[in-house]
Amino acid sequence: MRLPRTDRERLLLVLALAVTVTVFTATVPLLRGWFDLRVYYGTVDTWVHHGGRIYDYRVPGTAYGFTYPPFAAVSMLPMALLGLHAAITAALLLNLSALGAVVRMTAGPLLRRHGWYGWALTGCALALFEPVRDTVSFGQVNLVLLALVLTDARLLTTGRARWAGIGIGLAAAVKLTPALFIGLLLLAGRRRAAGVATAVAGAATALAVWIAPDASRFYWSEALWDTRRIGRTAYVSNQSLQGVLARLAAPGEPSRVVWLMVVLLVLAVWAWRARRAVAVGDWWAAFALTGLTACLVSPITWVHHLVWLLPSFAVLVRTGHARVAGAVYAVLCTSVVWLWFDDASGVDGFVGGSAYVWVTLGLLLWLPVDDAGQTRFGPTNRSTSDTAPAPSTAAPRIVQVSGQPGPLSGVTVAATGTDAATRTDAGASGPACATGRAATSEPTGVTRPAAPKPQSSSERASS
């Protein structure tokens, strides 16, 4: 198949892809009806305008309410100034902006080579990516948190480390899972950034205690430990290690001891791989590995939480594994796990019903780490002593420079080994065509009829 060579051919291809994406998203997956956003909005509206309590609110006709830490509700207070439709619009724009920031930080150098064409293709591709389309149509906050965390990663690799940690701290105060990135900073010996992240998370939590003391007391003493508020761990949308164990144990409860042992093993693998990535200067891979691990060890990882896999695609493309990235992308666009919506028992259910878990685990074990440092976000502040060989005591070599025009022809210059210091490291890496469709209040269904008791990600404190 011949690739488009002219702008006209590229435009026609983009238009054809946009139509295909529109048809697909309008007919195949069920959109989520902004379900999680309605949880957020209803919680804030009831709290501010009707004197209600944060953790007492339920979406009318459902049993689903707010289960994030109190600071998440505090950060959403501006919604109290908006109507529901205005809040939906604001959330859509915020998610698309966060997605654009993530793409720019992870794949910006490559996309700049291809201009509008590369951005358009990426947008259409990400519109089909199930975790992204679910995050947008749920009105979730995953992309915003990912953008915050990756901002810290960029600061660490562009000589502005003094500000690093703020994004991770804010993300950890909104949800608990991003706190694992503080562990990465400690593994990397970035104690100052880890301290900043911890201080920001603590300050945000303290602010929530000051604004909503009763809600804070209830969350940290009761709601956080009440597993009934989290949801059904065996539900096929839970693509975490605990989800696998819960489906194996269904209808019983999975062994907490077995789960803890598996989590510790995964954390050990993560620590080993992340430290190696940091040791060779590949911060990008280190952050990608941490995102993968967070999805695996979290008790609940709904499908839309897998936007944390996006940095891994950039690592694969930058290290020359574009075909592997394409294969993983294809699997995560298929909604294949929903084939086992009714029954995930048996070998086929174990494999297919947890397909996204195996993809995530495979990436954790195999994701390339670039020893040459080519997968960094951008140039780092490295002194010449980091790249230049030691000065030689030998006499300088005399090199004949030929091919110079005019009177410079035949001039001789002295060259020493220090010319290696002029080398630079450069990395490049290889979105979303929004569509409309009649919304459904079913928060997790994809191609299946609405379940009697649908599970919504917005109710999980650990998500």
Q: In this predicted model, what pLDDT tens digit does every residue of 145-174 receive, in sequence order?
A: 999 999 999 998 887 888 899 999 999 999
- Residues with pLDDT less than 70, the chain: 1-3, 27-31, 227-230, 371-463
- For residues 168 and 149, give the distance between their C-alpha atoms in angstroms, rounded to a whole number: 5
Using CB atoms within 10 A of its CB, is residue 366 exposed (0-12), middle (13-18) or buried (19+)?
exposed
- What letter represents residue 195's amino acid? G
How far is it between the farthest Cα atoms of the chain? 88
Q: In this predicted model, what pLDDT tens digit does every residue of 274-312 receive, in sequence order?
A: 999 999 988 989 999 999 999 999 999 999 999 999 999
What is the reported pLDDT for 429?
39
Report in angstroms the alpha-carbon separations of 188 from 156, 280, 400.
11, 11, 46
Of all residues in the chain, what percent carry a pLDDT higher than 90? Answer: 52
What is the reported pLDDT for 1?
58
Q: In this predicted model, what pLDDT tens digit does every residue of 211-224 receive, in sequence order?
A: 999 999 999 988 78
CA dihedral 97, 102, 107, 113 (to 10 degrees): 20
